[in-house]
Amino acid sequence: MASVRVVTVDRNTYPGIYPILIGLKITLMNMIRTVFLRQAATIQFPEQKRVSSGRYRGIHLLTAREDGTPKCVACYMCATACPAECIYIESGERPEESIEKYPTRFEIDLLRCVYCGFCVDACPEEAIMMSRENDLVGTTRAELIIDRDRLMERGKLAEYGPGYRPSDHDVRRPVRIAALERLKKEHGIVPGMPGR
Amino acid sequence: MASAVETAPTPAGASSPTLRVLRDKLGDGLTGVDEWRGDLAISVSRRAWLEAARTLREHPELDYKLFLDLCGVDWLDKDGHDERFEVVLHAYSVSHKHHVRLKVALPENDPRLDTLSGVYKGANWFEREAWDLYGITFMGHPNLSRILTHEEFVGHPMRKDYETPKRHLLKEAKQWLLKVPEGSEHMIVNIGPSHPAMHGAFRVQVLLDGETIQDAEAEIGYMHRNFEKMAEERSYWQIIPYTDRLNYCSSFMNGHGYALAVEKLLGVPAPPRAEAIRVILSEFSRIMDHFICIGANVVDLGAITPFFVVFRAREAIYDLLEACCGARLTVSYVRIGGLAQDVPDNFDALCKAAVVSVRDVTDQMERLLTRNPIFANRFREIGVMGAEDALSWGWAGPCLRGSGVAYDVRKDHPYSGYEQYDFDVPVGTVGDCYDRYLVRVAEIHQSLRIIEQALTKLPKGPVITDDKKVALPPKSEVYSNIEALMNHFKLVYEGILPPSGEVYGYTEAANGELGYYIVSDGRKFPWRMKVRPPCFAIYAAFSEMIKGGMLADAVAIIGGLNVIAGELDR
Amino acid sequence: MPTFTIDGKQLEVPTGTTVIQAALAAGIYVPYFCWHPDLPVDGNCRMCLVEIERMPKLQIACNTQVTDGMVVRTNSEKAAQARRSTLEFLLVNHPIDCPVCDQAGECYLQDQYMKVGLHDSKIEIEEKVKKRKVVDLGPIMLDAERCVLCSRCLRYESTVTGTNSLQFVNRGNVTQIATFENRPIEHEYAGNLADVCPVGALLSSDFRFKMRVWFLKESESVCPGCSTGCNIYVDQRDDVPERLRPRRNVEVNKSWMCDPGRALYKEIAVTSRVSGARLKQAKGWKGTSVAAALDEIGSWLKGSGNSVAFVASPQATNEDLFAFSVLARSVGGLLDFRVGDPQLRVRERLDQVLQRADRNPNTQGALDLGLARDGVDQIVKRCAAGQIKALVLLGPELLRNPANLDALAKVPFIAVMATHEGPELDRVHAILPLAMWAEVEGTFTNYQRRVQRLRKAVAAPGDARPGWELAAGLLQRSGGTLAATSAREVFARLAQAVPDYTALDYKLIGSTGRALRLPDAAAAEARV
């Protein structure tokens, strides 16, 4: 263990006008950086948009099977894991013996959602992931309860790109996400690289 | 606790001087001892409570000067508990470096106890909280009134038989916290709850004689959501997003502390890589928190430039967090036993960029402020808090170190591998606002040192434990085999099932010692989860600190204490 | 009485006890699939292997009887390893079905994987043997892939119902259970097959895909379907009952219940429930508060003496019946409950398993409380003669018999406490909303004179409240008082007033009930 070195802080100040001149210099430099060198930390939203990381936890998306139906089998894992209790599912029977079950209703109340991504972690079927869409606006509460069809729309997804999803970095055994490959093939949606 | 018997072959706490001294002092007032996961817990009878606390604090061999936490526990209808209520005190001895937990059981029909507000100053608010949430009466308490809930609230919400769907609207808010003395021309002024100089929704009412504060009374609870009650109905990992909302300026650290506390309860450590990443992100969070504190504090004084300067570096850190976990503010990145995902490939580059940015703006900030006599004179000799008082109030972190006490959990009780890193503990000498500022700035530099060391040493390997009872299995396994799928299902719907027992997990958060006192009965939900919020103890002292000072100084002081309403009110 | 040691604990057990019974009774965990407390031992799953000193090989706990001086270790490394291997074998061909399987949450495989398994998989999906899935057997859905071949269902069919409709077909890797030509299961006890199945091979068609079981909260209760009084759990989520399940009571129903009983939850959370009080006025019905309706009814009762009649129902709890009878006695009116079948076939069997001819859960309780007093026929006669001014009904049974209608038309005021809307309610003048059995605390007395408790599982709709509360309200308005504010207190009053019940209270009744002494003749009749 490193020895505990206790350092007493220095309480001395510089005399006279010198520190004030330094302050003015810094302020001026920052002005130059921002106004002339265009190094502002802010952006001009909405004309300009941030590029979010490939793990961004935005609005959810439901992945699809080859025939366009939801991959979700209504196992309720996401609704169970959700700490905000914002996922509502009703299940029904599918004729295919290999699938059996699917969600007849799948709604997420985005006003309750805390975007923690636990639904993605809990999904055993790579059926729910998150997109990088983050600027949804609604004028009523009802508008922000989004349903299965909205979750499966691909228009917005192509614009923003997919976000938080099962990790392809898991050293225990990396995961190949077939649903993402299908998105790329069918909709030309490329999952973003993590980071900028 | 049954499990304690199995883990401790020697009698619990046998070697502890605390137990010896208390036994000598209290005789049969000492009713039980338990030592589990390294936590010493001593039960005393109700009559011996005050005497026990006083001995803990004043006996030179014990010297439990630092008040940490006091809370209630409700054992309604629980086997093995004859009495319904329990009050639990946590204290720490800076000189001997040990913690103690003192417990007393109280009957349901007469939950009364002597107040400790005469022993520890900090006990005042904590006892009010225990009264508010549990209805435990503290005899001799100077002002036993509602603190987190409002004064028209009915019932005690943390009691196990409280009906949670109940709503109690506040119809008429309390207008006057203070009274103008008869015949004086003093004036009462509200600072907050909605005031630009109050960093969050809390309120202080001051009685002014000209510009001098004669009396002050603080009111909190505007952001109270009863995190602790919600935690009693959430599984261990569902609580993680809630911890983000405690101190939201450095949300990662709350999750880090929480995960460590649960890992202590489970006896399952996180792998080294996860710990190193946690350290890096925690230190970045600490830097952000200090930036917010300093930036906002000087805005209150009229200096707006440093605020904008430091926020540039915060952006770089937020980008780093977003790249790791997909969110900037409410990160929810830790998991019990590790992290949600490994960091991205460009983690190293992002960290280095953030370090450069932080160095740059810290340098600018220091040149703008530190040696500037206008700034320094504004901060010197105001809000002075002596070391002894600071400990008694339960201060910790930069504020305590500003008062000259070199207590840092990272040094004194290293966790997550802090013992591997070389860093210093900066302390102040006077305990005024200037010292607190200087300590924070010095800590930013120390944090950068830690980050750089951790980055060079960053181990390879998994980021989450392979304990199948704790961590979700890899997704590829879940998709392809029944064993992992069943494991996944059980962990999602049944959650993590810890052994029954209680632990106090503590870390050095940006504002000081962030403690989680978790009581488990072996089931999916914690039986009791108490957060020891550092700024609750700090803000408790605020109205005492500003008495006799100028009104404008009160504003300067509050910013330097860095009170975050999310954590204060929980 | 052999004495033996299990995991270091010394226990004395009755002769003939098996190791698994002794272990479970002592709170020691032993995993099992094929063993069931109410079925004969088969010993095929090999999951309950334990180490017994001086026995060279591991023994199955379910078929090994405890002998004097035996030393058993359930958690030795050897036993743990054997169980892990057994579980791994059972999972070799198990499909990756948890997401679509209703058993998830109460599946023995899941539970035991977390307790004794925790091993990694060695099998790829492609290697698994495929079997028949989604086979509709009427009340049961069969999925042969999920089956662990424990034969619990076969033993249930042969020993409990005697129907033998399920059998193993084929051998080795492709063994599976099946019915002959996939015929549906036709007896009235099919629901128990889903309960005995430790995995998701046999699942209830009724509950299929409705709800995940971990969302459900269980409450102990008693089935109101007949006078047997099977012990059950009501499983509900957000005050909607989702299913009924048998609760083990060796004295009454063992681990079983009938399918008609299982379906009774469907009557609870429906829109046709009476959720508020209403009074008939010149222009039609007008909804009022319960208090206002009680005022109106009370005004008809006060001082009316024997021109008032009270008719109760054996569907009601003892608490309701007691309060109702106190009300009738206080007013001085006529009282009875025997509407419909006057034979009161309380103890007559309907089949050889559980069901009884009396479809009311509490006829015995009504008899015990002395509600068989003036005779319903007598009351109807007096109605027809115009001697009854007001009639108060606990339950609408009397209104349903067309033979009574002319007589009832002569009564100026009829008030009914009802749970469901129906055409018969048009014939009355005041309706009080009555809570159903799953919405109240209370007791039923079954055919054996066993007093058993119901616990409140869900909230009653709207203003609906327990019958005793409504009766107490009327009692108060007609000048009497019940001196009780909860079902527990009503029962305490009842225990004071009714001989035989004197020694009982809710705590004593507990979760499995308390039997009172039967008259000798009845005891012979009731003998199983």
Q: pLDDT tens-digit profile of A43-74?
A: 888 888 888 888 889 899 888 888 888 889 99
Distance from CA of A65 to the nearest CA of C (A): 16
C-alpha separations of B470 from B75, B474, B495, C483 in Å: 27, 12, 8, 53
pLDDT at C525: 63
Q: What residues are paired with C6 via a beta bridge?
A: C9, C72
- For the residues A89-112, what does the mean pLDDT come to? 87
Question: Which of A76, A100, A124 is nearest residue C212 as measured by Cβ atoms?
Answer: A76
* DSSP assignment of C201-221: SEEETTTTTT--GGG-EEEEE
Tokens 């970045």 appear where? B284
In C338-441, the DSSP E strands lie at 390-394, 413-418, 430-433
Q: Hey, is the C-beta of C118 within 8 angstroms of any chain A C-beta?
A: no
pTM summary value: 0.86
Number of other CB atoms surrounding residue A82 within 10 Å: 22
Query: Is the pLDDT confidence value at A96 over 80?
Result: no
Q: Hey, is the C-beta of C211 within 8 angstroms of any chain B C-beta?
A: no
At residue C340, what are phi and psi to the nearest 5 degrees?
A: 80, -130
- Residue window 105-134, chain A: list those with CB within 8 Å of chain B: 114-118, 121-122, 124-126, 130
For C209-249, how does the pLDDT look when each residue is reduced to its tens digit (9 = 90+)? 988 999 999 999 999 999 999 999 999 998 999 999 999 99
Distance from CA of B437 to the nearest CA of C (A): 51
Q: CA-CA distance, C345 to B507, in Å (whole number)?
A: 71
3-state secondary structure of B545: helix
pLDDT at C317: 94
pLDDT at A190: 64
Question: Which of B469, B480, B489 is nearest residue C110 as measured by Cβ atoms?
Answer: B489
- For the residues C51-73, what does the mean pLDDT come to? 92
Number of other CB atoms surrounding residue B431 within 10 Å: 24
- Write the CB contacts of B220 (distance below 8 Å, at least 6 apart in sequence): B147, B148, B202, B203, B539, B565, B568, B569
Nearest CA in chain B to C123: B481
Q: CA-CA distance, A92 to C405, in Å (whole number)?
A: 46
Residue B391 CA to chain centroid, in angstroms?
Answer: 15
Q: Hey, is the C-beta of C344 within 8 angstroms of any chain B C-beta?
A: no
Number of other CB atoms surrounding residue C512 within 10 Å: 17
- Asked if residue C309 lies in contact with residue C335, where contact means CB atoms within 8 angstroms, the answer is yes
Distance from CA of C258 to the nearest CA of A (A): 26
Is residue C191 exposed (0-12), middle (13-18) or buried (19+ Cβ within 10 Å)? buried
Chains in contact with C, counting 3 or more C-beta pairs less than 8 Å apart as contact: A, B
Q: Hey, is the C-beta of C127 within 8 angstroms of any chain B C-beta?
A: no
Question: Which of C91, C105, C118 is nearest residue B482 as measured by Cβ atoms?
Answer: C91
pLDDT at A194: 42
Chains in contact with A, counting 3 or more C-beta pairs less than 8 Å apart as contact: B, C
Check residues C30 and A192 and name the one with the higher pLDDT: C30
Q: Do C96 and B494 count as a contact with CB atoms less than 8 A apart?
A: no
CA angle in degrees (0–180, nearest 5) for B511-B517-B518: 135
Kindly report the average pLDDT of chain C as a whole number: 90
Query: Is the pLDDT confidence value at A1 over 60?
Result: no
Kindly report the average pLDDT of chain A as a whole number: 81
- Write the CB contacts of C31 (distance below 8 Å, at least 6 apart in sequence): C47, C48, C83, C87, C108, C112, C115, C116
Buried b (16+ CB within 10 A) or exposed e, B117-129: bebbbbbbbbbbb
Lowest mean pLDDT among A84-93, A173-182, C213-222, C420-429: A173-182
For A106-128, how does the pLDDT look when each residue is reduced to its tens digit (9 = 90+)? 999 999 999 999 999 999 988 89
Check residues A23 and B456 and name the one with the higher pLDDT: B456
C-alpha separations of B367 from A85, B100, B304, B556 in Å: 49, 43, 15, 20
Residues in chain B with CB shorter than 8 Å from the CB of A122 are 488, 492
Residues in chain B with CB shorter than 8 Å from the CB of A54 are 344
ipTM surpassing 0.90: no
Nearest Cα residue to B325 out of B316, B313, B334, B317: B334
Q: CA-CA distance, B14 to B127, in Å (whole number)?
A: 30
Residues in chain B with CB shorter than 8 Å from the CB of A77 are 488-489, 492-493
For C282-314, how does the pLDDT look when each residue is reduced to its tens digit (9 = 90+)? 888 999 999 999 999 999 988 777 889 999 999
Question: Which of A26, A130, A175 is nearest residue B476 as measured by Cβ atoms?
Answer: A175
Q: CA-CA distance, C508 to B214, in Å (whole number)?
A: 64
Check residues A156 and C78 and name the one with the higher pLDDT: C78
Task: For chain B, 570 residues long, give each residue's pLDDT as a single digit of tens.
Answer: 333 334 444 555 567 888 888 888 888 888 888 888 888 888 898 888 888 888 888 888 888 889 999 999 998 877 778 888 999 999 998 888 888 999 999 888 888 899 988 899 889 999 999 999 998 999 888 888 888 888 888 888 888 888 877 788 888 877 888 888 788 888 888 887 877 777 778 888 888 888 888 888 888 888 888 899 989 988 998 999 999 999 888 899 999 999 999 999 999 999 999 999 999 999 999 999 999 888 888 888 888 888 888 888 888 899 889 888 888 899 999 999 999 888 888 888 889 888 988 998 898 888 888 888 888 888 888 888 888 889 999 998 899 998 888 898 998 889 998 989 989 899 888 888 888 999 999 999 999 999 999 999 899 888 889 888 998 888 888 888 888 999 999 999 998 999 998 999 999 998 889 999 999 988 899 999 999 999 899 999 988 888 888 888 888 888 888 888 888 888
Token couple for A168: 């392809």
Q: Do C99 and A77 count as a contact with CB atoms less than 8 A apart?
A: yes
pLDDT at C221: 94
Is residue C510 exposed (0-12), middle (13-18) or buried (19+ Cβ within 10 Å)? exposed
3-state secondary structure of C28: coil
